[in-house]
Structure 1
Amino acid sequence: MNTADPRAAYARATEQAAALIRAVRPEQLTDPTPCTEFDVRALLGHIVGGTLRIAVAGEGGDGLSVDPSAVVVADDDWSGAYEEARGRAVKAWEPEERLTAPVRVPWGEVPGQAALAGYLMELVGHTWDLNEAVGRPLALDPALSEAALDAARRVLPESGRGDGVPFADARPVAEGADVHERLAAWLGRTPVSRA
């Protein structure tokens, strides 16, 4: 998968996330997620808000003007809110020049390609979080997880992730772990206990 131009992979990742969000049941909204600071509802807000942030950046605006924690969506409209945000994001990144134009994101001012690759990593990682939290109703795309893992290994050190890095240190991964588990481990995640 071409991460030098992450637009196609990002669009596919939004389709995967949309399918999963449609599968979330209202009674699951307060369930925990592997992203320990979020329950399912807060994680959905973060996903919608992050998608809006990269949409604004792709449109040439200041992505930091969108605060994902401030996203408010009615509990029965998560799917609709995400569909609207992802449509806007995919459209915003269609022009070729967006890949080289500088954009502001939480980790600084970077070329559009680097920003979108970062949001690909985040979206695929949070899709894993959500899938774990709601009982794994979706078979995740291994090619997307491989692209996200490739991006994560390029931008995140294995350990020593400190202030301002929204991921814990990489965790050990079992021999034979699939690409989704390797991505989750690199992002510092552990599966939700179902005991």
Structure 2
Amino acid sequence: MRLVLMSDTHLPKRARDLPEQLWAAVAEADVVVHAGDWVDVALLDLLEARSARLVACHGNNDGPALRARLPEIARAEIGGVQMAVVHETGPAAGRERRCADRFPDTDLLVFGHSHIPWDSVAPGGLRLLNPGSPTDRRRQPFHTYLTATAADGQLTDVTLHRLPARAAGSVVRPDAGGARPR
């Protein structure tokens, strides 16, 4: 199962649309994961229409319309990997232990909020991934998202993708399907 992980898209506040490279990855993915802070329901509608499967939660910047459609914590089994998706995990200090205690029957926790890419393993084996943000890098040098493969209960090929600076403001028409980078 090919996964695309994103968070903190903040559309249309930070960009008009997702970068073309990310839309291309979405078109090729078996599962798209979004860890909250969508801001606009339109992106949820587009990802539901373009994704084979969407696993997503709401974030602290998401209003009532998004909260009505998305849980605070999403859970799914993907390729034998037990996954949870949550927007906020608290401060970086102590994150692994805190999350391992909160999600004891989980292999993979995808989270957002900080806009800072994160990849670590907690005591007991819980993998924690934050894809950063494809549209609002804040103090980070790049806009980012993650891809991975889940099969036979294992998560492999975890790759952080850095997006070109101008890609974050690119526009993809809703009818364009899985756009390819030029």
For normalisation by structure 2, the TM-score amounts to 0.30
Give the structure with the larger strand fraction. Answer: 2
User: TM-score, length-normalised on structure 1?
Assistant: 0.29
